Structure 1
Amino acid sequence: MKKINKALSLTLATLVSMPVLAENINTDNFSFGGRIEARAALADSDFTDKSRVRLNGQGKHEINDALTAIGKFEYELTQDSDETDTTVKNKTRYAYVGVETAYGTLTYGTQDNAVTYLTDFTDMAEYFSGYTNEEITASGDRAEDTILYSVSKGDLTFNASANLKTTENGGGLMVAYKLLPSVEVSAGYAATEGFGTNSSDTFLDETESSDVYMIGARYTKDSLLVSGLVQTGSYGGSDFDAVDAFAAYSFGENTVNVSYNYYSADDTNELDVNFVAFEYARYIGDVAAYASYKVALNNDTSAGKGPNNNNADEFMIGARYSF
């Protein structure tokens, strides 16, 4: 794989760089990778294929003793689940460049938000986790046209981000501290003006700002991980509360985990989430296989009510090869 990565890196340098630049590319610090994942979901006897392919590349180039240039891209390709549309959908997950210094890392592009470090405390399952923070651009896992500054000093980590997209501008802050080697606590705030897509819910005021306050903690010891995340804020003029919890135990090549996701808004139930999920995964080198079952806790558990069948019992099975 190292030989393949190096060959691909040299090919990329030849295709996209001028000869004088190609000579200076440090191919030892550039790598390609990705994953091929076959996944299938079953909800209310309806089968849905959720297979995907991800391709990524990342690298570093030392400019001088004080500055190191970095860059990363990642694309996801999926086939539309609609039987009448078999086209492949391409989504940009990461596409950013920046610099690393002794005073922190500064990057710009499509990338993580400041609070992603915090929301990742509980977004750890292969599938059923991380459902409560995606509606606000500044608190989502990733955002376009984003500047991110990150610095770690000892047990302290600080992130700040700004979202510059005209229709979804905002930003966030996050600070995390390790009280003990096994215990880390964190707090964050994120706010967004505008919406990426128009909501069908008439109760939402899309001219208002949306914001969220969040606190989280995680405990890791040997093969055990326990974490929690609490959020409160407003979304389009509707106040909401959210709770995420996650616990996992690994033994040998096996991992079992349980996750809980809850989101409830005052004026609308369009985005409400309330479920517990159980998962078993087996990891053998670059191969992973897993099965997950989500138990909906809402009164109406029919499939299709809400994004991604959030309010329906659902069974997921998948296998992944990483390279």
Structure 2
Amino acid sequence: MKKTLLAVALTAVTAGTAHAATVYDQDGTSLQIGGFVEARAEMEKNPTSFDSNDYSYPTTNSMSNVNDESRFRLNMTGKSMINDTLYGIGFAELEFDVGSSNVDTRYVYAGIGGDFGQVTYGKQDGALDVITDFTDIMPNNGATASNKITSADRVANTLAYAGTFGDISTRVTYKAKQSDVDTVGQGFGGSLVWNLGDSGFSAGAGYAYERDNLAGNAAGTVIDRASTYNTMLGLSYNDEMLYVGLLGSVGKHLTTGTFVGDDNAGFANNNENVDVTVSNVTNFGQQQVGAAKYWGAEFATAVTLDQWILQATYNYGKYTDLDNAGSYLSGVAAKTGDNDPVSANNADFAVNYVWNKQFTTYVEYQADFLDKKDQYYRGDNAWLGAMYSF
């Protein structure tokens, strides 16, 4: 996929690192600077109310409202040769968003590498990011059905090994337990990606396990600790004009609220301490954390026509048992009579125009096929964007 023009517009991460400029290279030490500036307007049709009588979302806002979601991302890669085969490496990436004074530290890691591969520690990608990349190709939204556990995603306090051996690449990670109590306990994961020579086909598989630490974060949690996990398989085909990717995911995930793993409605995601005092959940009793099994499938395709790139994805995910998902979601399941709710059912479409390797414009639309009475309803979204990469 990264051999074609498609890579220029697939994701902000690709755009932010593909064109990094070498600003220093002397005596075996080099420094590269990269990033992008993205002007991005978002139109959302999100729920604006919650009906406690039937646990539904009767009203949404108008998509005529425009939110400025522009951002600036900057990254730095430093590399220094220790001897003929051994080197030290450091990488950091920061993101600055319009309307926020906070700086998002996306990556900070350092380590050592050589013919054996690379060992790094810090905030970095988990073992399953390379598997979700098979279908996570859209400019803004993606991987809504993969449901990665936190330690399998980009997270701090992670020790990683990455190596490439011929057509096979591997990544193994361990997320250590922190001294302070947090919802992310310790976890590990591993993945393999096999590029089948020059055929254009790639296959990947990965597994991750996490021992979530819940005690002390939310009063009245169902359990003090929970075991969550992911098993994922990916398959893709890529040539100069066509990309097709498939992903299958099964596992068990933490449940913290109506929007599992999402805080748009005021619920905590797995990277935050669980807040049980949020106003829109107090009417329904103490929010309790649990875990539920799920499965998900994703399809992605992209067609490159000269400077045009057309992209589409479809995501479908379903929970198979909410009996132990926590008092709130279990109560929702009992109220709606749906103990196996669909957690994701959406399609995403994007049209990109690549003016040159530095500048891309796009329009993207995501349609949510869930009904407003479905507890995972999110609403439709649309984006207009222009990105300059350096």
If the TM-score is normalised by the length of the shorter chain, which range does it land in?
0.7 to 0.9
Contact 1:254 / 1:280 at 8 angstroms: preserved in 2? yes
- 1:143 shift after superposition: 1.0
Work out whether 1:147 is the aligned partner of 2:159. Answer: yes
2:292 is aligned with 1:238:
yes
Distance in 1 between residues matched to 2:73 and 2:213, nearest whole Å: 26
Q: Which of 141, 165, 171 pairs up with 2:188?
A: 171
* C-alpha distance after superposition, 1:238-278 (max 9, x if no partner): 00111121100011111001011222223148992210011
Q: What is the aligned-residue identity percentage?
A: 27
Give the superposition deviation at 1:132: 3.4
Distance 1:92 1:132, change over 3 A: farther
2:263 corresponds to 1:262 = no
Shift of 1:43: 2.1
Q: Please give the TM-score of this superposition, normalised by the length of structure 2.
A: 0.68
Matching residue of 2:74: 55
8 Å CA contact 1:129, 1:260 repeated in 2 = no
Is the alpha carbon distance of 1:298 and 1:198 closer, same or farther for their aligned partners in structure 2, counting shifts above 3 Å?
Answer: farther
Deviations 1:168-221 (A, max 9, x none): 210101112223421111111011122699999x99756211101111101012
Letter in 1 for 2:196: L
Give the alignment partner of residue 252 of structure 1, picking from 300, 306, 317: 306
What residue in structure 2 maps to residue 83 of structure 1? none
Letter in 1 for 2:366: K
Alignment counterpart, residue 241 of structure 2, candidates 216, 223, 229: 223
- 8 Å CA contact 1:114, 1:173 repeated in 2: yes
- Where has structure 1 moved over 4 Å in runs of 4 or more? 195-200, 202-206, 268-271
The answer to whether the Cα contact below 8 Å between 1:274 and 1:311 also exists between their aligned partners in 2 is no
Q: Deviation at 1:5?
A: 5.4
Find the aligned partners of 1:271 and 1:36 in 2 and give their Cα distance. 36
Q: What is residue 191 of structure 1 aligned with on the other side?
A: 209
For residues 283-318 of structure 1, the C-alpha deviation after alignment (integer angstroms, 9 at most, x for no partner) is: 12211110011111111289xx75xxx621111111
Deviation at 1:130, TM superposition (A): 2.2
Q: How many residues align?
A: 292
**Kept in 2: contact 1:227–1:246 (CA 8 A):** yes
Q: Is the 8 A contact 1:275 1:311 kept in 2?
A: no
The equivalences for 1:241-320 within 5 A come to 241-265=295-319, 266-267=321-322, 268=329, 272-285=343-356, 286-300=358-372, 311-320=378-387
Partner of 1:321: 388
Counterparts in 2 of 1:261 and 1:36: CA distance versus 1, 3 Å = same
- SS of 1:293's equivalent in the other structure is strand
For residues 56-110 of structure 1, the C-alpha deviation after alignment (integer angstroms, 9 at most, x for no partner) is: 1102111001311111100011134xxxxxx422111111111111111111111
1:16 maps to which residue?
none
- Sort the Cα spacing of 1:216 and 1:149 in 2 relative to 1 into closer, same or farther, 3 A: same
Partner in structure 2 of residue 101 of structure 1: 114
Tell me the equivalent position of 1:65: 84
8 Å CA contact retained: 1:36, 1:322: yes
SS in 1 for 2:225: coil
CA contact (8 A) 2:39 2:386 kept: yes
1:301 touches 1:312 (CA, 8 Å); kept in 2?
no
Change (3 A) 1:278 1:99: same
Task: Identify the structure with the greater strand proportion.
Answer: 1
Contact kept, 8 Å, 1:138 with 1:192, in 2: the verdict is yes
In structure 2, relative to structure 1, the CA distance for the partners of 1:24 and 1:255 (3 Å cut) is same
Cα separation, partners in 2 of 1:108 and 1:197, compared to 1, 3 Å: farther
Alpha-carbon distance, 1:116 to partner: 1.3
Question: 8 Å contact 2:125–2:152 — kept in the other structure?
Answer: no
Distance 1:98 1:223, change over 3 A: same
CA RMSD of aligned residues (A): 2.8
Give the Cα separation in 2 of the matches to 1:79 and 1:251: 33
Q: Distance in 2 between matches of 1:107 and 1:40?
A: 36
Partner residue of 1:35?
A: 36
Q: Which structure 2 residue ranges, 5 or more long, are not aligned? A: 1-18, 46-61, 255-290, 323-328, 334-340
User: Could you tell me which residue of structure 2 aligns to residue 89 of structure 1?
Assistant: 102
Q: Which moved more, 1:263-272 or 1:244-253?
A: 263-272
- 1: CA distance between counterparts of 2:388 and 2:147? 26
Q: CA deviation at 1:319?
A: 0.8
Structure 1, unmatched stretches of 5+, are 11-22, 81-86
Determine the C-alpha separation between the residues in 1 that align with 2:373 and 2:34. Answer: 39
Cα distance change on mapping 1:198 and 1:313 into 2, 3 Å = farther
Q: Which segment drifts farther, 164-173 or 145-154? A: 164-173
